[in-house]
Amino acid sequence: MRFPLRTTLAVFFACALVLGLAACGGGADEKTSEDVPVDAIALVGDQEVPKAEYDALLDRAKQSYEAQKRPFPKVGSPEYNDLKVRAVQFLVQRYEFRSEAENLGVKVTEGEVDKRLDELKKTNFGGSDEKLQAELKKLGLTLEQAREEIEDKLLQEKIFKKVTGNIKVPETEIEKYYEDNEEQFTKPREVRHILVKSKQKADELHKELKGGASFAALAKKFSQDTASAKEGGKLTVSKGQTVAPFDKIAFSIDEGVISEPVKTQFGWHIIEALAPIEVTQLSEAKPTIEQQLKQQRQSTAMETWLKQTQAKYANDVVYAAGYKPPPGATQTQAQTTG
């Protein structure tokens, strides 16, 4: 999974309410809602989650609705309550992450934020401060809020690297994946075929072909696969992508060989292989397989870390009155980046 790393500023600074994050922990045993300061919506350990940040999220949600020409949900409506719950969960998760980053020894410097902001400005706005400011205004963000968003993204990226940095894929696992997924590494093959409804007709045509008749001519005249018939029966097939009986023959006969009639759900086929079977060798496929398996392991590691973080703070989060998510309220897992 991936932490959202936006490729355009508009998406990068999209309303945080739509970011999927894991559900946050429950209330603390030692503290109650009365311990939450009036200008906060929750406490994450000793950290205050400012109400100002919550208000800013809802303001941005309102602007998003306006941009889509949709009415903003009425206070108390199910849709409004859903937005409220997700805003609270997002912010609590933010402060849990910040706390865990400190425990992991992960920090983001002002210089790193400057660099990322400059990259975004250069990539999306030709380096123009005016265009950047105009986009931030459209999104309902101040420059300070934008920098905070960038800092959070950089922090998430560093957490990901810290948690998954030592993950490696054993050679044996790469080899097993290659062996178990043969069809992925067999290259598409050019064949031609004639499709008819009866075995009797297929046998007749097969006899003609064995006698030297033109495959292309017979395909054009008799094949009921009208698309390939126009090309003399030619088509390119990928292993595992056609019906099983056809696939088996298409990827077993040698180049130039004409098969016996083979039955499928569509009728009777006569197949001729026009090219040799080509397979991507393990040495060539290895980098792609290794990357795919590594990403899967990283995803699992991050899911485990997120669950552990959630459990760790389950008794360290206390909400102000009216802000505690209802029992069972959940969100999708946070995305991560590699």
pLDDT score recorded for residue 328: 67
3-state secondary structure of 229: helix
pLDDT score recorded for residue 330: 56
Which of 317, 1, 319 minimizes the C-alpha distance to 159? 1
Per-position pLDDT tens, the chain of length 338: 333 333 334 444 444 443 444 444 444 457 888 889 999 999 998 889 999 999 988 988 888 888 888 999 999 999 999 999 999 999 999 999 999 998 899 999 999 999 999 999 999 999 999 999 998 888 878 899 899 999 999 999 999 999 999 999 999 999 999 999 989 999 999 999 999 999 999 999 999 999 999 999 999 999 999 999 999 999 999 999 999 999 999 999 999 999 999 999 999 999 999 999 999 999 999 999 999 999 999 999 999 999 998 888 888 899 999 999 888 665 444 444 44
pLDDT score recorded for residue 329: 65
In this structure, are strands 47-50 and 40-44 parallel, antiparallel, or unpaired?
antiparallel
Q: Which amino acid is at 83?
A: L
Strand partners, 49: 42
Q: Given the structure tokens 């560093």, which residue do they identify?
A: 158
Q: Is the dihedral of CA 6, 113, 129, 140 positive or negative?
A: positive
Q: Which amino acid is at 194?
A: I
Asked, colleague to colleague, whether 9-168+288-319 and 187-273 share their fold, the answer is: no
Fold annotation for 187-273:
Chitinase A; domain 3 (3.10.50)
Instruction: Find the DSSP H helices in the chain.
Output: 9-12, 51-67, 78-103, 110-125, 129-139, 143-164, 171-180, 182-185, 199-210, 215-222, 226-229, 244-250, 282-312
Domain ranges across the chain: 9-168+288-319, 187-273
Pick 9-168+288-319's CATH classification: 1.10.4030.10, 1.20.140.10, 3.40.630.10, 3.90.420.10: 1.10.4030.10
Phi, psi of 199 (to 5 degrees): -70, -35
Beta-carbon contacts of 67 under 8 Å, excluding residues fewer than 6 positions away, are 138
pLDDT score recorded for residue 139: 81
Q: Round to whole Å and give the CA distance between 32 and 221.
A: 83
pLDDT score recorded for residue 302: 94
Which tokens belong to 21? 């994050």
